[in-house]
A and B are shown apart, each in its own frame.
Chain A
């Protein structure tokens, strides 16, 4: 059981990064389906920067930067030019898959040291599970907690929720709708980049094409699953990580590996159906302006 739980702690980290960032963007009213593409660009950039400089810190920062750059492209198209958010996000993902494969060509098969782990506190089974991971695992949790504090305890967080709830009213009150959305989308990009970086420099320290393997899509579903609330998002990230990790343990039970590989996605669909059936839950929390471009009066 212990090795399973330890692997869940690690596997949840990319979900936490990417989904926390997307949660902020969606709370401001912007649906960015480009999560997978931003994660891939973050992953390849972080790998390249780490292998060039030898510093995992610089690598992670470069990954975040790549995510921001991708998010900026999205923001200009979807917020300023009011392109359809769903179509733009999908295009961003497809672009990210292609561009990361191109940029990553020279790095395929190269080795890289994994991000160093902190010491384990070997007191009980619980401490052995929750200590002894790399710093990014804890950073991801801290970011989720920080976002919860920001959204519910600060005025800027209140303004961000207001912009997502009714951009017309927010504008009438003089809140900066467009600037808020830019900031939220760029934050989402940085977090997606960190999630990708975690995969390529800590989780499995290597680069392979399409190595995020659909985690961006699961993170998107996770935001809906969490009904846009950070606390539920953390719980959901561990739940989804447990499902993904279960496949490695399920192989011992002679279940065909293809079925096991499908499991996380089936679980995603099942969870979304269950959540979406409860209209009260979604409607009380969903940002009412999600996906709607904002056109101010002239």
Chain B
């Protein structure tokens, strides 16, 4: 592994644009960023790498002026500057496209752009938006309402908003996590053109192949400190990952798929109207998940995956025959009744959906397992109240989950919210797996989880399937899908394409299915 030492310049060209000089940021007793130094040159595509919680977001928030450093400072073209606010950063020439878009859903595209720019008549602005959008191939109609746009279109609005300010440095925070491979490719074309025009790009991502293809310099953070600087083109993705984690990356153990077992979970023509004006209706969704396999539901965000998960878990009811668990009609049943049929569910949002942050782990365990883990006791009165909870059993179960899935932190029986994201995610997935369900449906099992925990979760999911369960994984992470799925079905606009074996799928084909005809055109 050839990592440059902390001070050696890796032979880059271009004037230094932004120098980050010994910047630290403390929140109370926690040091999020510790003495970080790096420099970005004009026209350079510079990657900022690190695991979740390594401090990447904190660093860019300070560059963009929305946080102030506790120590250290910045220099812009060699001159020391203090960046007091986002407005000051923009005035200097820094633009930022946020990971969770900072857009206003209730406003139009033009209004969203206008808010970031100096005053100008709306008609003139709409014309300028059309010009930039045509020139960079970022198709968007300035009159449309933001909430009617797809995620990829919202990102275009953010990029156009930055471009109209003629930035010298554009910060992109995890821009491709919500895009199809084709949309991502189109974004890279825009970014390459920008840097050819002299605008530097600070690119944050944990998709290392992307970084290797796009960036000519990288700064790697670990626990708030710079651990390496390198040219990502000269390194393998594995070496970059090891530099980020500081240890070898455990590979997912994956055994070949056994002969297909019986159908354990089936959807038959599931149709559900959207419960929410910004939601997606499910249209004639059919699916069969067999024992022994991992079936992935792929798709970009907001194409109906949340609605599909709700219909599978029983949070949304349908006609009884539309959902079958082990051959029994379950569409009209609630989540507890479906759990009693042998199914288990782990929703996407770990805080507030899969777990109640204010409750202890044992209490969270009882919430999903009260009926199925032998926790309910009592006679007639007890049954009337849904059973007395056997808290000793709940604590024992919870301890077993923590033991089996290496859930760390917070003493004997901690509150769910005191755990880090990765540890809580291991708990909510482990809680379901340890029950040995016949059917497991998980939504985004490793979202926002570091590489080590993600590998552990994925291994456990595959192992559960090989033991005879049908495992359905709803995910937007293509790497994850290719890593663990035996078959892949793509969700788009509330409809599900028939599942195909992973061996027959390529990222390109998947991208076309995810983006539909638009993406096929773009690729042609």
Do B66 and A162 have beta carbons less than 8 Å apart? Answer: no
Whole-angstrom CA separation of A170 from B102 in the bound complex: 8
Do A161 and B86 have beta carbons less than 8 Å apart? Answer: no
- Total interface residues on B, using CB and 8 Å? 28
For window 150-176 of A, CB contacts with B under 8 Å fall at 155, 158-159, 161-162, 165-166, 168-175
Do A173 and B119 have beta carbons less than 8 Å apart? Answer: no
Do A172 and B277 contact each other (CB < 8 Å), given the known contacts A158-B114, A297-B67?
no
Shortest distance from the beta carbon of A180 to any chain B beta carbon, whole Å:
12
| Residues in B neighbouring A175, C-beta threshold 8 A | 115
Do A284 and B86 have beta carbons less than 8 Å apart? Answer: no
Do A158 and B106 contact each other (CB < 8 Å), given the known contacts A172-B66, A173-B86?
no
A298 on interface, CB distance cutoff 8 Å: yes
Do B106 and A285 have beta carbons less than 8 Å apart? Answer: yes
Whole-angstrom CA separation of A166 from B277 in the bound complex: 18
Do A169 and B106 have beta carbons less than 8 Å apart? Answer: no
Do B106 and A161 have beta carbons less than 8 Å apart? Answer: yes
Do A168 and B61 have beta carbons less than 8 Å apart? Answer: no
Shortest distance from the beta carbon of B318 to any chain A beta carbon, whole Å:
19
| Residues in A neighbouring B101, C-beta threshold 8 A | 169
Q: Which of A159, A173, A297 has the most CB of B within 10 A?
A: A173
Whole-angstrom CA separation of A108 from B412 in the bound complex: 66
Do A173 and B116 contact each other (CB < 8 Å), given the known contacts A283-B278, A284-B277?
yes
For window 270-298 of A, CB contacts with B under 8 Å fall at 279-280, 283-285, 287-288, 297-298
| Residues in A neighbouring B115, C-beta threshold 8 A | 158-159, 162, 170, 173, 175
Do B66 and A171 have beta carbons less than 8 Å apart? Answer: yes
Do A283 and B276 have beta carbons less than 8 Å apart? Answer: yes
Do B85 and A174 have beta carbons less than 8 Å apart? Answer: yes
Do B104 and A162 have beta carbons less than 8 Å apart? Answer: yes
Shortest distance from the beta carbon of B147 to any chain A beta carbon, whole Å:
7
Shortest distance from the beta carbon of B20 to any chain A beta carbon, whole Å:
19
| Residues in A neighbouring B209, C-beta threshold 8 A | none
A194-227 vs B: 1/0 string, CB under 8 Å? 0000000000000000000000000000000000
Do A155 and B147 have beta carbons less than 8 Å apart? Answer: no
B117-161 vs A: 1/0 string, CB under 8 Å? 001000000000000000000000000010100000000000000
Instruction: Give 15 new A-B contacts, CB below 8 A, not counting A161-B106, A284-B145.
Output: A158-B107, A161-B107, A169-B104, A170-B104, A171-B66, A172-B64, A172-B86, A172-B102, A173-B87, A173-B116, A279-B276, A283-B276, A284-B277, A285-B106, A298-B67
The 6 closest A-B pairs by CB, nearest first: A174-B87, A169-B102, A280-B277, A174-B86, A165-B104, A172-B102
